[in-house]
Structure 1
């Protein structure tokens, strides 16, 4: 039954307008484990953990009870003027011990976008206070995703950002997307591709001038770019270049952090040694909005010194370090360290095995992923890697058909992306890929029929 005439004052973010106009929204009513149910009682396997974040299930009793107790004790407060809730202190001590590098300080925001935005502000703050106000340029990669504030949307290397909002701002430079399958030269190995990108980075730095560059932002795995793991040796090739020129490496772990890649951090999976880590999403398992900036001792010392002029750190958010959010984060980390992360490690081989098996489908050009995340890139021609014509909306078609079959998966450009909850079982993984293969077969037949 269509909801085409469904009345709503709600403005949908990042939603396919033709689909909304034709079918209306899916009104989510409740959740249970890895499944959600709509207001008509239909059940869906949530193959994307909501937006990468609801990793402990949609009805986790421990998180719900923790939130109830925290709201009863201290339902709201701020962290300005030297005041802070105990939960924020406890969480910070825990996070710096868990960090993928030596760390000693955490700053809280309300989302990954806000956290990345704050990192930029801190880098510019340091440049001003250290007598280098010209050090404002920021390096990112094409197809990256770092958020949707003005500056983080600028760091985001998606074509729609420029065409939709006239971004990026002048301070941002985008380097080649590290997608070997799509960007490598003929017969270029992954390591050779990585070396070429490191050379591109160094040439960019030298041509621009290292004293003008404030930082390099990188996701360990490019999540919203379509789950693109780095090529072999990538971070090992670029990090010496950054170190040579004294440019901080900011690891955007918003999606990868706290277990998604099969290690606790994507930085650990790929040998990154960041100066700053940005985390969000999984830190509260989606039960509360939170972003966290984790700082190395060197960055902390520089920020403390720069703040002396003002007798304070001149930035913050009203609900950053919210007492309820911090309590939920502590409970989420208990659950992750207490068994959910072990389940990721145990289930990842089966997930990746079934993901790679989808590469034999005539519509799939590449099956890629790591840990409990993966993507299938849709192509019209496997040999030439030619995508389907844009007017076919193939990935959107797959997503819509999967929804009808009881699976939520995400269309991202030419790709279908999967990132199921950490608590998924092998049986549910088989259910997920069984529905997805059935869906691809149905869409493929429909496209072939219309082309005949």
Structure 2
């Protein structure tokens, strides 16, 4: 059933251009732009302001895992709002948050069994970093605060979390806590240094990590923060046993390993958490958001090792306060929705994801037949199609004309919403997608790329 509208679409667009500040705008249009208007969602589909039905290729933003218009989740929101719409987490608590914490802890690896809830991914990473700072202050190590991060990383938009970002353009015009962050190379096999095999590249990354610790000093490094798969950096899957080796180095040097699973948790790779089930690592902290409610309500959080909590309780500063919290921490509606969403995942969505993921990856991989496509990579139900000007040299097809946006425009016309990232197209559909719907998605994407190749040849900016 369509949502009731008080104004028509033209007025909505005009109002947006006058009043709505969009995320990640450029200075030339900040506060004066409208973006594609989405009116409805149903299953894996959304409908734009013109009434065109589109496959939701990015699943919102990696998050609409169980699909749009799930009546069960809408009903839970209503029921919980009618029972308890809010309570302050400063000196009260609610039952949904307690039950959800236990459910999440039961899925987390190792001894990760304490959960702090936030409002989203950025605040989850921010909370993990502030916890690391607090932990080292309480343990008498105020100098142990530096954070290791990597090129290609994306960890959020709040001050500390954004300081870790390593994608092109993220920090060109923005300030950050640069004095706290030490950057490492992106674990991107496709863009590894010339002459290195993938195995040699893995060793290069591990050696760089070890040498960085030796140079900076383990006594000054508080945490390593890494996505199991670098999502917004282009679905970068690190080579071989790289993650396991980094985990062991962190353990040996008493450096907290924070696994940023804001994207990969709650089903994207077929498991509630991917750190151990997919990559074989047991971190000290896991951050999560997005899929925890399938995007139906803003919620995020971190799961923390029992060992770290015990270290704090045994310290000589029992009155030291972790002065961190959010008005909407442990929100009862968000936690109630997450509980029902977890039910849906456990009752079949996770198993379905594991079943269709190989087909999803294999069908997309066929796009490497196209001369504009340098590599298709991914895992689970997340993938990236990277376009290149020249496959041999792997030069990115940057172009002022933004090839990813061109592909997206063609695909939109054909019935698919794509997430364009400069020269890349990222695909992460709702987890309920079927094999026939995957065929539709890949077919449209192929045609969108072919039309873009024709455009570029006609304009004389590419001759592939």
Identify the TM-score tier after normalising by the shorter chain.
over 0.9
Deviations 1:272-318 (A, max 9, x none): 22010001101111011111110111112134446954365321111
Q: 1:142-170 CA deviation, whole Å, 9 max, x = no partner?
A: 11011011111101112323211133521
Match of 1:49 in 2: 59
Q: Verify: 1:392 aligned to 2:401, yes or no.
A: yes
- Between stretches 259-268 and 434-443, larger displacement belongs to 259-268
Question: 1:308-347 counterparts in 2 under 5 A?
Answer: 309-310=318-319, 312-347=321-356
Bigger CA drift: 101-110 or 425-434? 101-110
Partner of 1:30: 40
- 1:166 match: 175
Query: How far did 1:3 drift?
Result: 9.8
Q: 1:16/1:404 Cα in 2 relative to 1: closer, same or farther (>3 Å)?
A: farther
User: Residue 60 in 1 paired to residue 78 in 2?
Assistant: no
For residues 273 and 139 of structure 1, the distance between their equivalents in structure 2, rounded to whole angstroms, comes to: 18
Q: Structure 2 regions of 5+ residues with no counterpart? A: 1-8
Q: Give the structure 2 partner of residue 451 of structure 1.
A: 460
Q: Over the residues paired in the alignment, what is the CA RMSD in angstroms?
A: 2.2
Tell me the alpha carbon deviations over residues 390-447 of structure 1, each in whole angstroms, 9 at most, x when there is no partner.
3131111111221122111111232110000011111110110111011011111011
Q: Distance in 1 between matches of 2:418 and 2:319?
A: 48
CA contact (8 A) 1:52 1:420 kept: yes
Flag the 1:360–1:171 CA change in 2: closer, same or farther, 3 A.
same
Q: Which runs of 5+ in 1 are unaligned?
A: none
SS in 2 for 1:65: helix
CA contact (8 A) 1:115 1:293 kept: yes
Inter-CA distance 7–265: structure 2 relative to 1 (3 Å threshold): same
1:376 counterpart SS class: strand
Which residue of the partner structure matches residue 238 of structure 1? 246
The 10-residue stretch of structure 1 (38-47 or 60-69) with the greater mean CA deviation from structure 2: 38-47
Distance 2:49 2:396 in 1: 36
Seen in structure 2, the aligned counterparts of structure 1 residues 33 and 5 have a Cα distance that, compared at 3 Å, is closer
Check whether the contact 2:20–2:32 (CA below 8 A) recurs between aligned residues: no
Deviation string 1:194-245 (CA, Å, 9 cap, x unpaired) is 1211111111011111000000001000001010111111112222211221
Count of paired positions: 450
Return the match for 1:121 from 122, 130, 138. 130
Is the Cα contact below 8 Å between 1:151 and 1:169 reproduced in 2?
A: no
CA contact (8 A) 1:221 1:266 kept: no
TM-score (norm 1): 0.95
For residues 89 and 21 of structure 1, the distance between their equivalents in structure 2, rounded to whole angstroms, comes to 40
| Contact kept? 1:29, 1:38, Cα under 8 Å | yes
Q: Is the 8 A contact 2:107 2:273 kept in 1?
A: no
Question: How far apart are 1:15 and its partner, in Å?
Answer: 5.4
Please state whether the residue corresponding to 1:351 is helix, strand or coil: helix
**Residues 124 and 136 in structure 1, CA contact (< 8 A), matched pair in contact too:** yes
Q: How far apart in 1 are the matches of 2:148 and 2:113?
A: 25
Q: Does 126-135 or 90-99 show the bigger shift?
A: 126-135
Q: Distance in 2 between matches of 1:189 and 1:402?
A: 35
Q: Match for 2:158 among 149, 156, 172?
A: 149
CA contact (8 A) 1:122 1:303 kept: no
How much does 1:102 deviate? 2.1
Q: Which residue of 2 aligns with 1:288?
A: 297
> Cα gap change, 1:103/1:4 in structure 2, threshold over 3 Å: closer, same or farther?
closer
User: 1:394/1:111 Cα in 2 relative to 1: closer, same or farther (>3 Å)?
Assistant: same
| Aligned partners of 2:43 and 2:67 also within 8 Å | yes
Please give the secondary structure, in 1, of the residue aligned with 2:171: helix
User: Please, which moves more after superposition, 232-241 or 375-384?
Assistant: 232-241
Cα distance in 2, alignment partners of residues 346 and 15 from structure 1: 38
Q: Note if contact 2:263-2:290 (Cα within 8 Å) is conserved in structure 1.
A: yes
Matched residue SS, 1:165: coil
Can you list the C-alpha shifts for 1:10-56, whole angstroms capped at 9, x where unaligned? 11113578999999422111111111112332111100100000111
